[in-house]
């Protein structure tokens, strides 16, 4: 299947607050019911390998739903959220939130133990994926965790079926 990237509402800051809230709610639902949370838990369990404390940068974090669920299971995580659009980040939270570009991470080398990203990479062009991987590997000490969509013709059929 040929890839045709299209911009979505959360890729920009153009949606109304209610549209953005609805899209973030849809992402929470999708992650809850289609394996995003369980995948993140498994990846972190493997990467943490029993470490007592880990610093995590969650890239394209949106409202931070997945990191919040991770922190319930792994309270030792010290999480920083990063999203390009400031209005997507939580307004009030104990977690640090940074508005910045994932392709030019504003952190020194080896700033975090883990860099994680969920449902983000499919928004990037191939050369941007390489740049994102380089930036993530530059700022992480232990692991870069990416979980995303697997494209399949059956998914396209379901999308057209409504």
State the pLDDT confidence band at 5, using cuts at 50, 70 and 90. low
How many structural domains does the chain have? 1
Between 137 and 161, the more confident residue is 137
Asked if residue 52 belongs to a domain, the reply is yes
Asked if residue 2 belongs to a domain, the reply is no
State the pLDDT confidence band at 155, using cuts at 50, 70 and 90. low
Between 94 and 126, the more confident residue is 126
Asked if residue 4 belongs to a domain, the reply is no
CB 31, CB 66: distance < 8 Å: yes
Asked if residue 99 belongs to a domain, the reply is yes
Instruction: State the average pLDDT over residues 5-33.
Output: 70
- Please, which residues have CB within 8 angstroms of residue 51's CB and are 6 or more apart in sequence? 76, 113, 142
Instruction: Identify the pLDDT of residue 22.
Output: 78
Q: What is the pLDDT of residues 67-124, one digit of tens each?
A: 888 888 888 889 999 999 888 888 776 569 999 999 999 999 999 999 999 888 877 8
Identify the domain containing residue 87 by its residue range. Answer: 9-161
Predicted TM-score (pTM) of this structure: 0.79
CA distance 67 to 115: 12
Instruction: Identify the pLDDT of residue 68.
Output: 86
Q: What is the pLDDT of residues 20-44, one digit of tens each?
A: 777 777 777 776 777 677 788 888 8
- The helix/strand/coil state of 124 is coil
Asked if residue 130 belongs to a domain, the reply is yes
Instruction: Identify the pLDDT of residue 82.
Output: 96
123: closest CA among 94, 92, 102, 105? 102
- CATH code of the domain containing 37: 3.40.50.150
């Amino acid at each position: 299947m040929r890839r045709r990237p299209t911009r979505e509402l959360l890729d920009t800051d153009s949606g109304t607050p209610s549209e953005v809230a609805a899209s973030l709610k849809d992402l929470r639902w999708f992650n809850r019911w289609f394996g995003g949370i369980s995948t993140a838990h498994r990846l972190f369990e493997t990467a943490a390998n029993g470490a007592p404390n880990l610093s995590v940068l969650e890239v394209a974090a949106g409202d931070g739903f997945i990191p919040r669920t991770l922190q319930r299971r792994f309270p030792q995580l010290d999480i920083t959220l990063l999203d390009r659009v400031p209005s997507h980040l939580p307004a009030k939270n104990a977690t640090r939130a940074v508005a910045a570009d994932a392709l030019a991470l504003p952190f020194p080398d080896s700033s975090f133990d883990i860099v994680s990203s969920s449902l983000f990479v499919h928004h990037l062009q191939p050369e941007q994926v390489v740049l994102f991987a380089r930036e993530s590997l530059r700022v992480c000490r232990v692991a870069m965790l990416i979980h995303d969509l697997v494209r399949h013709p059956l998914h396209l059929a379901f999308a057209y079926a409504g």
